Amino acid sequence: MNETFFFFTRLAQVWQPPCTRRKISTMNLFIVLFIGLHLHGKVVGSMKVTTSTATLERPEGHAVQMNCAYETDSENMQALDIEWLLVDAPKPVVMLTDGQVFTPLEGQNSRYNFTGNYLSGDASIMISSTKTSDSGKYICKVKKHGDISSVDVKLTVLVKPIPICSLEGGQPSINDDVKMKCNADIGTPEISYTWTRLNSMSTLPIATALGELWLKNVTVVDSGLYQCNASNKIGFGVCTSLLSVKTKNASSSSAGNVAGAVIGVLLLLVALAALGYFLYWYYTKRSSGSMKTKNRPSDLYEDGSSPPTSRPPTRHSDHVYSHDSDDEDYKNELPPSHLPPPPTNDQSQPLYTNVELPLSDEDGYRKPSEKVLYASIRKSDDSV
């Protein structure tokens, strides 16, 4: 390119009309350069890239081919470079350089591949299975012998709508206004909505552009199953919504049933708590009575005979008494013959040695206390 510019500049400087020999003006110089460059492009070589699929629409999951053809002078035998670019993508989707094909965007398992003889002017590619993310503007760029040319292809991947139905505010009562919604977040615009009532010939109001259906002053007759149809140029999807109009009495009865159920549950809990308290008190009382019975002496010996109420009279009187003032119950249960004698100041009677007597006989008669008891024995009036 620099050599061409220098050649025409030199030509403009030295060339003069043969009749006048005047120097050429600056304007004439630019005109000569423009003509020279234009002729150079035609003669030396040019690149032309075209497509027959400038605008494409395909359903999601289908294959699509994007055409790209190029023409160049046969004299240009230098390296050929081809690139397919997706606008806003970080890397080319497919490219040819130094005679090798690469798929930088998706790697070895790429869905993008050349379909024609790219060395002979066919740079078309195919996407094996389209996705919604494939939608966008593609650029086919061809470069050979310094010439670069490109063409654009717009691809739109179509997705059928998937609607979702809902009933705003829950199930209505008589004379209420009802609003049914049908919304398709997934789907290629433009999406149109229509509502029908299944198993009914009645005519419904026209849905809004957002898929909303309004019913005014509903009655029990309006109860039923309603279906929304969302459609676009590629397909359609449906969803249903159940409408059940309630009467005022039914609403009051339902509220009363709920309140009655709550009260019944509370009463049952109170009854269970009272029963548990009674059982606890009963078993506690019974256990306490059993302990008192065990602490009392048995009324029968092991052989079934009753113990004697008093000892037979002897020449000596054995008087048993306790030095423990806390064992009052045992004192009260002793027979009168076993009560200790009243104190006396008579020192004439000899006093024998105090001995410790066991308070449990051989037959297993339980002694009433674990504390030490003593028996005081005095000589009686009748000597042995």
Mean pLDDT (the chain, rounded): 75
- Give the tens place of pLDDT for each residue, 101-152: 999 999 989 999 999 899 889 999 999 999 999 999 999 999 987 789 999 9
Fold of the CATH domain 51-158:
Immunoglobulin-like (2.60.40)
The mean pLDDT value for 201-220 works out to: 91
For residue 362, pLDDT over 60 is answered with no
As a whole number of Å, the end-to-end CA separation of the chain is: 164
Instruction: Give the pLDDT confidence score for residue 74 in this predicted structure.
Output: 55
If we measure between CA atoms, which residue out of 183, 161, 155, 167 comes closest to residue 215?
Answer: 167
Higher pLDDT, 261 or 248: 261
For 221, the token pair is: 């007759």
Order the strands of the 80-86 sheet from edge to edge. 55-59, 147-158, 136-144, 80-86, 94-97, 100-102
- Band of residue 277 on the pLDDT scale cut at 50, 70, 90: confident
| Model confidence at 251: pLDDT above 80 | no
- The C-alpha angle with vertex 23 and arms to 20 and 28, in degrees rounded to 5, equals 110
Determine the 3-state secondary structure of 40 from DSSP. helix
Domain ranges of the chain: 2-44, 51-158, 162-246, 249-285, 314-384
Q: Quick one: fold of 162-246? A: Immunoglobulin-like (2.60.40)
Q: 51-158 and 162-246 share one CATH topology? A: yes
Measured from the Cβ of residue 153, the count of other Cβ atoms closer than 10 Å reads: 22
